[in-house]
Chain A
Amino acid sequence: MTNSGYTVHVENLTRMFGTFKAVDNVSFQVKPGEIFGFLGANGAGKTTTIRMLCGLLLPTSGKAIVAGYDVYKDTEAIKRHIGYMAQRFSLYEDLTVRENIEFYGGVYGLNRKQIKTKTAELLDYLKLWEHADKLTASLPLGWKQRMALSTALLHNPDLIFLDEPTSGVDPESRRNFWMLIYELSEQGKTIFVTTHFMDEAEYCHRLSIMRDGKIVELDKPQSLKQKYKADTMQDVFMKVVQKVEA
């Protein structure tokens, strides 16, 4: 276990796929309790980075310490301390809401009693009592997404990775989802989130903009707007991208 005071500490992280540099020499730190955003177009390297940090993908070179553990050696320890939700759907549609919660609770090592308490808590919180014994497939997408996040947090991790959690969801549901993220942040949890929605980028405490595997900007949204003399993150993003291309 390494302690640097940062929840995530990344230095010169690189990942090659054959001769293609998906992530190119990336360095950044995430402070405890922060909502840290990764903004970039599809294929910019966001998902590859997040997968390396979760222990799903081995880096080609560079250093990364997540929740105090090394991504090369201690991936199993990392997995006990993080929550992860991918853009792809992670619930079993042919199980009921209750069964999904029970299953993931069991997988995260909770005992029967803890699972029962957690299930009640979650059903209360998500207001899903009526649907508890319905197949997950029958829920609207926005509800599924919030439920997926909740099940990924059954073991109460301090660090949460969200890989484009709101893709394919309507604006109303996206707002609800971000309220959930803020609540988690207020509880002291660190949140690492990737997105390609500019409005969501505004919600982050700090933001890095990725392009072609590199981090081209990293600062608070407000500071970035000032720096680029822009009113919205959309403008900032366009200007950053143009600057890089020029």
Chain B
Amino acid sequence: MHRILYLIQKEFRQILRQRAYLGLIFIMPFLQIVVLGFAITTDVKNVPITIVDEDHSAMSRRLVDAFSVTQSFDFQGLSQSSNQAKEVMKRGLVKLILHIPPDFEKDLKNNVHPKVQAIVDGVDGNTAGIALAYVNQIAVKLQQEWYSEMGLHPEELLEVHLTEVETRMAYNAALESVNNIVPGILAVLLMAVTAFLTGMSIVREKEIGTLEQLMVTPIQNIELVLGKVVPMLVVAFLLFNVGMLGAGLIFGLWMKGNLFSLYLMLVFFCLSTLGLGIFASTIAKTQQQAMFIAWFFMVFAILLSGFFVPIENMPDFIQMITYLNPVRYFMVVIREIYLKGTEIQFLWKEGLAMLVFGLVTFISASLRFHKRLN
């Protein structure tokens, strides 16, 4: 077994001799977190809005005021009629029209829920959905204020309050998306480094001919595989920590949970990504091929992980497929531990799933990797 130590030593020497690797470990996580953390945001700000007020009451004016002060919307002034508003939207000047019906105040006072109509430009579906949620949120908040002014019973108030909290949970304002994106980026970085670099580093030895030389030595398969995998895991681990540090320094987003739980989950997760790298190296003849194979799987794994698109929004059969995706579980685990400080015993299902997938991928890939040239 002491052969492994020589393999690992050699691998580290090569890594330290390549500046690109050091940049990869220390600069890439910082850059990705900064750029993507700011760029990939699901928060909606400054949606241009116009309002058609047919009521012209004190109440309707309060509603208009509420929309004009919030950062979420950029109030473009009142429109005289529904048709005028639609014309403005057609020209692309606003993305949202709020239509306050006549008798708005009267209905409200009589406790008849008045219907405020919101018309949203659906070309950008994501923004549209979120903007509508904000509309609801603002309306509900106003509603609550009115009810309390009108002196409602405490029980009824509680109900109203609850409705509002639910809306907020789903579409919190402020920096919510950074919180979600940053742990996601860490997961993606881990995957990229372990899958790509493992695959490429094995295939590189194929290309230069040293792998053939190693194959005629008494070294064992498992030693060769571990000799490649262990250094990459160390690199990934360093990179992950640098990334966490970056998230803390830049966004003030420090990990809330237990660090060792997270490390353990990281190892479980990396078993499958390292396995993917080895698998790619058994098929590929050149580094480009290895990269392409790893890339092919990674795109699916990331898009079906819940990183960008919530899994609940996917068609049922795609949702079933996501259960086969280790990244899906790690996305849950890292967000839970990172943001909520969830204890590991509540995450054992995800952990077990990753471990099983990891072992299966890793072992079957290692078995494909053998000391013959065929």
Contact = CB atoms under 8 A, between A and B. Distances in A.
A236 B108 CA distance: 110
B2 interface: yes
B54 to A, nearest CB: 76
A134 interface: no
Interface in A94-113: 94-95, 99, 102-109, 111
B216 A107 contact: no
B209 A86 contact: yes
Contacts of B214: 107
Contacts of B218: 76, 79-80, 107-109, 155
A58 interface: yes
A106 B9 CA distance: 10
Interface stretch (A19-27, A49-57, A166-174, A185-193): A49-57
A56 B372 contact: yes
Contacts of B216: 54-56, 79, 82, 84
B18 interface: yes
A91 B215 contact: no
Contacts of B371: 55-56, 75
Contact of A94 (B6, B17, B209): B17
A166 to B, nearest CB: 16
Contacts, number: 80
Interface residues of A, number: 34
A90 B212 contact: yes
A107 B6 contact: yes
Nearest to A102: B6
A80 to B, nearest CB: 5
Contacts of A125: none
Interface in B1-27: 2-3, 5-7, 9-10, 13-14, 17-18
B146 to A, nearest CB: 73
B39 to A, nearest CB: 36
Contacts of B210: 89-92
B374 A106 contact: no
Contact of A92 (B2, B10, B219, B372): B10
A94 B97 CA distance: 65
Interface in B180-239: 208-210, 212-219
Contact of A95 (B2, B14, B217): B14
Interface string B226-270: 000000000000000000000000000000000000000000000
A232 B6 CA distance: 47
A75 B221 CA distance: 13
A227 interface: no
Nearest to B220: A76
B169 interface: no
Given A94-B18, A108-B218, A88 B373 contact: no
Q: Is the interface of B mostly helix, strand, loop or mixed?
A: helix
A55 B215 CA distance: 9
B14 A92 contact: yes
A109 B3 contact: yes
A152 interface: yes
Nearest to A154: B217
A99 B10 contact: yes
B208 A88 contact: yes
Contacts of A85: 213
A89 B7 contact: no
Among B10, B209, B373, which residue has the most Cβ atoms of chain A within 10 A? B10
B314 to A, nearest CB: 43
Contacts of B5: 106
Interface string A102-130: 11111111010000000000000000000
A76 B222 CA distance: 14
Contact of A56 (B6, B9, B209, B373): B373
B200 to A, nearest CB: 15
Contact of B209 (A58, A90, A155): A90
B88 to A, nearest CB: 64
Contacts of A58: 372, 374
Contacts of A75: 371
Contacts of A90: 209-210, 212-213
A56 B215 contact: yes
Nearest to B18: A94
Contact of B217 (A79, A88, A89): A79
Among A56, A57, A93, which residue has the most Cβ atoms of chain B within 10 A? A56
B14 A94 contact: yes
Nearest to A108: B217
A103 B217 contact: no
Contacts of B219: 107
Contacts of B208: 88-89, 93
A99 B14 CA distance: 11
A104 B210 CA distance: 11
A82 B13 CA distance: 28
Given A92-B14, A94-B17, A95-B14, A103 B6 contact: yes
Top 3 A-B pairs ranked by shortest CB distance?
Answer: A106-B6, A88-B209, A90-B213
22 contacts: A54-B216, A55-B216, A55-B371, A55-B372, A56-B215, A57-B373, A57-B374, A75-B371, A79-B216, A79-B217, A94-B13, A94-B14, A94-B17, A102-B6, A103-B6, A103-B7, A103-B9, A105-B6, A107-B7, A107-B214, A107-B218, A107-B219
